[in-house]
Amino acid sequence: MKVARYLADENSTARLGFELAMVLHPGLVFYLVGDLGAGKTTLVRSVLRGLGFQGKVKSPTYALVESYVVSSLNLYHFDLYRFADPEEWESSGFREYFNPHTVSFVEWPEKAVGFLPPADVIIHLGIRDFGREAELEAVSEAGRQCLNRLQN
């Protein structure tokens, strides 16, 4: 199941983030796929704003992960662009970040194939002449239920 959205400007990206914030629940894993500048971090920032987080939302480019507690949710925002050392996966405790009590958004999941748990929803973001094209693809039953609620 797929949901396609054309995001004409940054406000549209923000709206999609707000919508996602309303259908999130613990246990979901979102992969964010798209080139640099496609809007992956912008979308996660908007999800956090939608959940009521008012602090700074940094891109986890160097830290690889930023953790948030908001609206009784534990949310992890990964950016695995610089992930290179497989041993770091275990030593950083990344495996434990993924469990039924947490929600994760993962930028550059392709960098940690074999380590990451499977996604529930894969969000593809493409850069267009004006704006962005988003395609949200459910790849599990939980992901399908989540996207169903998004459409209604």
Partner from ligand ADP, Mg ion, none contacting 110, C-beta within 5 to 8 A by type: none
Q: Which of 7, 57, 75, 106 binds ligand ADP (CB under 6 A)?
A: 7
Total number of residues binding ligand ADP (CB under 6 A)?
Answer: 17
CB pairs under 8 A, 24+ apart, for 65-74?
Answer: 65/92, 65/94, 65/97, 73/24, 73/26, 73/102, 73/103, 74/26, 74/101, 74/102, 74/103
Q: 24 or 47, CB closer to ligand ADP?
A: 47
Distance CA(129)–CA(7), nearest Å, equals: 12
Residue whose C-beta lies closest to Mg ion: 41
Chain residues that interact with ligand ADP, rule: CB under 6 A? 7, 9-10, 12-13, 34, 36-42, 59, 107, 131-132
